[in-house]
Structure 1
Amino acid sequence: MFPVGYFGKSACGFGAVLRGIEMGYIPRPVHNVQIESDLVTGFFPVAVCAALPIQGVILLVGNDIAGGKVTPTLEVLDSPPSSTGPLATSPVFPACVLTRARARLHQQGDDGSEVSLTDSILMPMFSGGTELEEAEEPIAVQSVPDGETSGPSSPNVLPVTRGRLASAQREDPTLQRCFRRVVSDNGKASGEKVAFILDKDVLVRRWTPLPDTDADWNVVYQIVMPTVYRQHVLSVAHESKWSGHLGVTKTYQLVLKHFFWPGLKADVAKFCRSCHTCQVAGKPNQTISPAPLHRIPIIEEPFDRVLIDCVGPLPRTKSGNQYLLTIMCAETRFPEAIPLRNITAKMIVKSLTKFFSTFGLPRVIQSDQGTNFQSKIFKQVLATLNVKHAVSSAYHPESQGALERWHQTLKSMLRKYCLENGPNWDDGVPFVLFAAREAVQESLGFSPAQLVFGHTPRGPLKTLHDQFMSLKSSTAKNVLDYVRHFRERLHVANTLAKQALSGSQEVMKRHYDRSAVTRRFQPGDLVLALQPTPVSALSSKFTGPYAVRERISDTDYILNTPERRRKTRVCHINMLKLYQRRESDKSGSLDNPKPPLTVSPPRSAALIVTDAALPQACDDLRPRHPVQLGTTLPNSEAIAQLPSRLLHLPVEHRQGVIDLVETCRATGVFSDVPTTTTLVKHDIELTDPRPIKQHPYRANQAKRELMKGEVQYLLENGFAEPSSSSWSSPCIVEAKPDGSPRFITDFRKVNSVTVRDSYPLPRMEDCIDNLGNAKFVSKLDLLKGYWQVPLTDRAAVISAFVTPDHFAQYKVMAFGMCNAPATFQRLVNTVLAGVTNCNAYLDDLIVYTETWEEHLRILEQVFRRLAQANLTLNLAKCEFGKATVTYLGRQVGQGQVRPVEAKISAISGCPAPTTRKALRSFLGLAGYYRAFCRNFSTIAQPLTRLLSPKVEFVWSTDCQIAFGSLKALLCHAPVLTAPDFAKPFKLEVDASGVGAGAVLLQEDAEGIDHPICYFSRKFTKPQLNYSTIEKETLALLLALQHFEVYVRSSSLPIVVYTDHNPLVFLSRMYNHNQRLMRWALIVQDYHLEICHKKGSDNIVADALSRLQ
């Protein structure tokens, strides 16, 4: 135990009656004392004494604290001791520490007078921050030797006074934004759904879960917890016996009834996910995603690989048989079943010897991990016969899928035989085997007997057929002719069977892999192993965690299991899941507590190798953006993190940027909430003044609550106001990639009657031409740039929007207005007019210089201009003094301008075709530009030759050279050309059953379309289930996002060509499909003219959409 002082503020508020060695009783106060030893660690209620009667003993700890780790020593007495006196009834742990002041009290109370415990019982947990008037003198406690600790968690009560809680709240930087939102007027707070108030210096959050009800029972007062005490709150809410290890949502709701802090949902999710008990116990509705199916190699010769297993126990027959030894040829699926009385290793070896004497010795025998197959006798016999023994993974019957499936058929046939012929099932085994061997195997297309014997055995049906046809025995044949025909027939049958099996495996893999996810663990990773057969319903579902020792294959891993008899264990990946580790929480002192809830990733996280998106967690574990508190990383926090983001700069340069930001901070250019400029206002001029009124879209209760929160944020921050306009546009809400809500207003009908603003956006080439020679480049980003532009009174009325619960109108320029880019570009051009070495493309500003002094001077000038225009920067997205940055889709700086590789990655990364269909699609893509290659037919000749069905499809070296040459043709001039922003763009899009493809085009002087950039992407697993119109719309949306740096720069309309005619009416139809509606609102930001094009003419986009 480390030296710890005793203070009056650590009192628990109650006392304990202790029984001494001399059988006396003394009253002692109870205090929360920090204990750290090799038995237990944490804060525990301890009775405090001045001294203990045994020399050298300063602390007594019982098994109730030590968790049963103290084993008593057996002591034998001649006569049992007599026990006198009343029983101790204190519920506290029998640990004692005594102070001198308490010793004096003890001496005063030994005269037999009545014991009083009121000296320490009147100390509540939050006593207003005042210390005891008569604080006892602290004495140092001697330390015990240190050791690694792993004891139970601390109790549910922390020795924290109200004063210490308030002090911790004020010192916590994560709560500063909450303090700025404190409402001093209680009357104003009662009218808000969420309000922060101070209750005797303690920050409290007043929350009304049901805003339509003003009753007192609907109001929740939550203590805003500082960082240092959050770990304890989460532990009590989830891990204590009273909590029951509930899921994320229920734990979050439980904490929310009493406590709150920013990022509460994310902290709860991390805490629950890293809970060892929850991970080991598992949940019934959570399963491990299976790994992709691996094809079993096709064996060349019959009985080269044999599968064996045992079935039973079955009902005992008259012969005493209870078991079946099943044997199957892996290639021909020829089955054998041998009835046995027992399945000992000796009996198994004896039966296998008889079978091998008929069909020959195999090269490999595959079995499960049964004890009879793992015995020394069995291994010695196989070694003597020079037969390799392959063992399948534990609890993974799919390794012997053919034999396991045969067990099901065998049992079903025997059950039916017993219903008709009695319980002696072993008598029916020969008949059942004959029927199974004569039946055609679905995967092979032939019966096992045909593949082994070369002909169909004569059975009852064959006999009946010959009797009806009065057929006589066939004429005698020459032996050589019979052997030759037999070998040919057997060879053809086996070849066709292999082809059929390969096709069946391909179909099976395609169906199985729909829900499969490729996972990979590295040596050292911690994993949990599934227990497929738990002992009882209350036993754990997983064991571990275990460390991965070795990766045998893509599906099998060796685990270290030191606590088991076998120190290593082979497990299939479908039995494993990654273990989320939580850093060991070594509690510090209360005066300097350690930050709680630090969940670290594994040393080597599982590598997800898949081109399909993983399904989202079903418990909604992603932290949702709290709309009451604005952005996730405000400028006040970004300034505090600025030094860590400037580590690439020398110390003197780094300090210059920090000083500049601190100097300009007072001007408001780095405020947390977007400001409103006074230079321009956005106006909306209409072609038709008649108001357009639309009703709100219907939404479920969850999205409706999100809408209410978003609108409330707009109203509270002055971005919107209640409206009585005759205009109204509906709104929807969707999730951003980080899980936060995105509020979207459907301005499509308003945009259709809006006069377009012709103010041009700058040419991207002009913005980046001067950046190539710059040594220092800084990129600046405005904070919610559109919201910093106010609307005129007329535009505000037109911008009115409606939700199921609100009717308001914007006071600032909203996203989705068709002329918003032109207005914003006009603003930044006005603000930065005359500033050298500074370019602006919408809200992306860039400063570039060759010297550092000049760089700082221009940055200061830009900050001053922005402050004068009352504009705000988003410091979290700003980059200062970089050598190279990504700007407008290009890597600029260090004397060069490089295009992004994604421009041609759809072509350069195209794999070699493996089928004639894929090759035909690629040649169609390349042949579309054959006019740019004089000897196209000569270069493509090795590829076109493979299209003939008379030629075997073999990819040779000549084919690879031709394939590379055609890809180079498509990725370089004269086919690929640079964009000209004075000309309109053309966009060809298409969606196939597997992915989306697009190509951005422009006409040259001769009217020939040249590609500028290619795009190809496979659909994810959920997207594969979309309808055709959804896939086509998604292809358009993905293409626009991919080519955004080009299409955003043009003020001319983009002509979109698609072979799906309904897509032409996307902007004009009312979509009951919520997904199509969201996409249509996103597409409204672009000036598109969608035209239909026949599929036979849409060659390039069609080929790109089918690239695998």
Structure 2
Amino acid sequence: MSQAVDLPTAELPVQYKGWSGMWTFAVYDNYPIPMLLGEDLANQVRRAKRVGMVTRSQTRQASRPIPVPEPSTEAPSVLPETQTEVVDPDSMPTTETATASPVPGPELEQQPAPASATTSSNSTPEGASEPELAEAKDSHTQKAQPEPEIPSGAPAESGSPATETTPSPTSLPEGPSPSPQSEEELVTPASREQFQAEQEADDSLQKAWAAARSTPPPLSSSNRSRFVIDQGLLYKEILSGGHREEWQPQKQLVVPTKYRGKLLSLAHDHPSGHAGVNRTKDRLGKSFHWEGMGKDVAKYVRSCEVCQRVGKPQDQVKAPLQPLPIIEVPFQRVAVDILGPFPKKTPRGKQYVLTLVDFATRWPEAVALGNTRANTVCLALTDIFARVGWPSDILTDSGSNFLAGTMEKLWETHGVNHLVATPYHHQTNGLVERFNGTLGAMIRKFINEFSNNWDLVLQQLLFAYRAVPHPSLGFSPFELVYGHEVKGPLQLVKQQWEGFTPSPGTNILDFVSNLQSTLRHSLALARENLKDAQEEQKAWYDRHARERSFKVGDQVMVLKAQQAHKMEASWEGPFTVQERLGAVNYLIAFPNSSLKPKVYH
């Protein structure tokens, strides 16, 4: 039976990738393994990573000293029917690693105050919970931009603990920290004399000094910028404005390398609101100048961890189109999905549709379902394959009904290779997804017009779809499967108007020979048409696409499948690329997490 035990507390120093401080822990010495008992630090880390904005009160609170209670030396009060044990902090078993590591953030500035712990005689302590991961959708990974090294002498700021950088003499300052800056940090620690000395000593400014000392010509329409010296400081004068008559002289203080990192942080990070490249560049350009400032701003903004987390999903870069493989044999590879649920069940209890499309002929099949349990799906697929034969490959999404043990046994028994589409990337199974859109629209129209009896006419809807030539193949699915056009209402009307004359009968051998020849010819033409259509589609799609790839060990951000709130960050990470699984798919690992690696597009 669980017991509430009052425990003394002790302060221990905690260091975690650039953050250090004192943390208050409860003291207890009867656990089976050495551990630190305190508030769940992993939850603190997770909440800190999700902070998208910092209020003024959080900023003030971050800089305010927080009193830490002294460890209690008196015996704690004993609750009724409770055994209380006081443990000397010095007798606490030591451990080399904490159960969770805090990272900087406004919520971590508050010290936890654990006062009691709940123990059970038949339970073991649980580990700290790990940060949650939301799976990605559409172009699910983007590379976490490495945060450049701070130049020598520049003030250091906290960066992403998951991104490593290589020092470089010309590299930019480290990316911004998600924690707010105090007012003292917003002021560059340099006097006028120190700044002037840095200007004169900076090698990158020597050409500008030489130009300023050589009596530059006055500003004019043909000479809109020049370097000048004013009271010992180096400036760049420019004519700025829209039309020529609106030009006004503007003086920009030339910044030495040592202070560029701090200015970039002030112009982009808190309290500047993490603006984009152009706005950050405009903000800096009003007062300051250095050679290559535009490139430095762009590199700094793109390496900002906060901006990468909150970036809009539609800002992702399109990768080149990956056409579906051209399958030559009918029903060698099929794609399967489930459509629904529809708003209400039919009188026969149907609310879903199992859909199947053949890669070679685009022949569709559909079965109305009352539920999507694995056994129900298994029976429906068995009925379909009894008519068209078992495929060699079957492509599905990662739904639990397709990954259940019953389904895996079905594939194994009939020698079917089960292919699973990338999670939250519907384009992988785009063939059946496109058919679902068409069939769903047909069913919804039928529901509105003829009440909720769509399951009775589902096969008639399939007949209408199979009779229409596919735009990429040039033939209808019916022609590619049966070798002749289907006789529908329109053909019957045409024959009646033309005066139908039955063709003379043929023997069975001639019929089979003609049918085989027709099918071979139709399928060959369909493959050529499909190849041409794919090339045209790829050329059109790839106009604004950019080839990009990741290497094993790269740090990447993962797009969240869903956001709990519109103000929540769109991306999570950075996480680590563990393996490349093709042209566009990667196996992503989650360090310091119990989550298994997953495949992302």
Measure the CA separation in 1 of the matches of 2:292 and 2:498: 85
RMSD over equivalenced CA pairs, Å: 4.1
The reply on whether 1:310 has 2:334 as its aligned counterpart is no
Question: What SS is found at the alignment partner of 1:500?
Answer: helix
3-state secondary structure, aligned to 1:38: strand
Count matched residues: 449
**Residue 429 of structure 2: aligned partner:** 400
Determine the structure 1 residue equivalent to 2:571.
542
Q: Is 1:336–2:336 an aligned residue pair? A: no
Matches within 5 A, 1:340-419: 340-419=369-448
Q: Does 1:443 pair with 2:472?
A: yes
CA distance in 1, matches of 2:582, 2:202: 49
Change (3 A) 1:163 1:287: same
Name the SS of the counterpart of 1:517 in structure 2.
coil
- The aligned counterpart of 2:229 is 197
Measured at CA, do residues 306 and 371 of structure 1 come closer, stay the same or move farther in structure 2, by a change above 3 Å? same
CA contact (8 A) 1:292 1:517 kept: no
The equivalent of 2:26 in structure 1 is: none
Deviations 1:648-668, CA, capped at 9 Å, x for gaps: xxxxxxxxxxxxxxxxxxxxx
Is contact 2:468-2:476 (8 Å) kept? yes
Provide Cα deviations, 1:774-822, integer angstroms capped at 9, x if missing partner. xxxxxxxxxxxxxxxxxxxxxxxxxxxxxxxxxxxxxxxxxxxxxxxxx
Q: Measure, in 1, the Cα distance between the counterparts of 2:334 and 2:539.
A: 26
The DSSP-based 3-state class of the residue aligned with 2:401 is coil
Shift of 1:463: 4.3
Distance change >3 Å, CA 195–CA 446, structure 1 → 2:
closer
Q: Residues 324 and 385 from structure 1, CA distance in 2 versus in 1: closer, same or farther, beyond 3 angstroms? A: same
Residue 257 of structure 2 is aligned to residue 227 of structure 1: yes
In 1, Cα distance between the equivalents of 2:244 and 2:496? Answer: 90
Give the whole-Å Cα distance in 1 for the aligned partners of 2:224 and 2:331.
Answer: 79
- Counterparts of 1:101-112 in structure 2, within 5 Å, are none
Cα deviation, residue 362, structure 1? 1.1
Q: Give the 3-state SS of the residue equivalent to 1:519 in structure 2.
A: coil
1:972-1016 alpha-carbon deviations (Å, 9 max, x no partner):
xxxxxxxxxxxxxxxxxxxxxxxxxxxxxxxxxxxxxxxxxxxxx
Identify the match of residue 38 of structure 1 among 9, 16, 20: 20
Out of 483, 500, 513, the residue aligned to residue 529 of structure 2 is 500
The residue aligned with 2:58 is: none
Judge conservation of contact 1:281–1:539 (CA < 8 Å) in 2.
yes
2:299 corresponds in structure 1 to 270
Report matched runs for 1:259-658 at 5 Å: 259-283=288-312, 286-300=315-329, 302-316=330-344, 317-465=346-494, 477-531=506-560, 534-562=563-591, 566-572=595-601
With CA pairs under 8 Å and 6+ residues apart, which has the higher RCO, 1 or 2? 2
Matches of 2:198 and 2:254 in 1, distance apart? 11
Go from structure 1 to structure 2 and tell me whether the alpha carbon gap of 1:341 and 1:203 turns closer, same or farther (over 3 Å shift).
same
CA contact (8 A) 1:441 1:448 kept: yes
The question of 1:168 aligning with 2:187 is answered no
List per-residue Cα deviations over 1:545-583 (Å, max 9, x = no partner): 3332222222322222336664322222xxxxxxxxxxx
The 2-side partners of 1:212 and 1:420 are apart by 62
Distance change >3 Å, CA 197–CA 491, structure 1 → 2: closer
Residue 157, structure 1, aligned to residue 187, structure 2: yes
Deviation track 1:397-427 (CA, whole Å, cap 9, x = no partner) reads: 3333332222222123333433442332222
1:982-1061 equivalent positions in 2, closer than 5 A: none
1:482 aligned partner, one-letter code: F
Q: Give, as a single letter, the amino acid of the residue that structure 2 aligns with 1:38.
A: S
Contact 1:522 / 1:548 at 8 angstroms: preserved in 2? yes
Secondary structure of the residue that 1:520 maps to in structure 2? coil
**CA displacement, residues 1003-1030 of structure 1 (integer Å, 9 cap, x when unaligned):** xxxxxxxxxxxxxxxxxxxxxxxxxxxx
When the two structures are superposed, what TM-score results if normalisation uses the length of structure 1?
0.37
Query: Match of 1:73?
Result: 113
Counterparts of 1:336 and 1:565 in 2: how far apart (Å)?
A: 40
SS at structure 2 position matched to 1:333: coil
TM-score normalised by structure 2 residue count = 0.64
Shift in CA distance, 221/282, structure 1 to aligned 2, threshold 3 Å: same
- The answer to whether the 8 A contact 2:219-2:238 is kept is no
Hey, what's the Cα distance between the residues in 2 that align with 1:290 and 1:186?
49
Specify the code of the residue in structure 2 equivalent to 1:159.
P
| Closer, same or farther: CA 231–517 of 1 in aligned 2, 3 Å | closer
Say which one has the larger Rg: 1
After TM superposition, the structure 1 stretch with the greater mean CA deviation from structure 2, 386-395 or 554-563, is 554-563
Q: CA separation in 2, counterparts of 1:447 and 1:428?
A: 21
Q: Which structure 2 segments of 5+ residues have no match? A: 1-16, 23-60, 72-101, 117-163, 165-173
What one-letter code is carried by the residue in structure 2 that aligns with 1:421?
Answer: F
- Alpha-carbon distance change, 64 to 349 in structure 1, aligned in 2, over 3 angstroms: closer
Counterparts of 1:467 and 1:268, CA distance in 2: 75
For the residues of structure 2 that align with 1:402 and 1:468, how far apart are their CA atoms?
38
Q: State the SS of the aligned residue for 2:472.
A: coil
Q: Deviations over 1:671-701 (max 9, x none)?
A: xxxxxxxxxxxxxxxxxxxxxxxxxxxxxxx
Q: Which runs of 5+ in 1 are unaligned?
A: 1-34, 55-61, 77-147, 573-1108
The within-5 A match list for 1:775-786 is none
Contact 1:293/1:512, CA 8 A, preserved across alignment: no
Given the superposition, is the C-alpha separation of residues 186 and 304 from structure 1 closer, same or farther in structure 2, using an over 3 Å criterion? closer
Distance 1:269 1:63 in 2: 27
Deviation at 1:464, TM superposition (A): 4.3
Structure 2: distance between partners of 1:270 and 1:564:
30
Q: Distance in 1 between matches of 2:594 and 2:531?
A: 41
CA offsets 1:241-261 (integer angstroms, 9 cap, x no match): x21111222112211223333
Provide the rounded CA distance (Å) in 1 between the counterparts of 2:322 and 2:341. 31
State whether residues 196 and 205 of structure 1, in contact with CA within 8 Å, keep that contact through their aligned partners in structure 2. yes
Change (3 A) 1:184 1:213: farther
State the distance in 1 between where 2:537 and 2:216 align: 67
User: What letter is aligned with 1:330?
Assistant: F
Structure 1 CA distance, aligned partners of 2:64 and 2:474?
Answer: 82
Distance 1:542 1:461, change over 3 A: same
Contact 2:320 2:541 in 1 (8 A): no
**Equivalent-residue separation in structure 2 for 1:37 and 1:180 (angstroms):** 44
8 Å contact 2:326–2:527 — kept in the other structure?
A: no
Cα shift at 1:70? 5.7
For residues 36 and 497 of structure 1, what CA distance do their matches in structure 2 show?
Answer: 62
Write the letter of the residue equivalent to 1:68: L
> Is this contact kept in 2: 1:323–1:339, CA < 8 A?
yes
Query: Partners in 2 of 1:179 and 1:429 — Cα distance?
Result: 81
SS in 2 for 1:373: helix
Query: Retained in 2: the 8 A contact 1:210–1:218?
Result: yes
**Deviations along 1:224-254, whole A, 9 cap, x unmatched?**
33222221111011011x2111122211221
CA distance in 2, matches of 1:351, 1:338: 7
Provide closer, same or farther for how the CA distance between residues 230 and 355 of structure 1 changes in structure 2, counting only shifts above 3 A.
same
Q: How does 1:1067-1078 map to 2 (within 5 A)?
A: none
Deviations 1:943-979 (A, max 9, x none): xxxxxxxxxxxxxxxxxxxxxxxxxxxxxxxxxxxxx
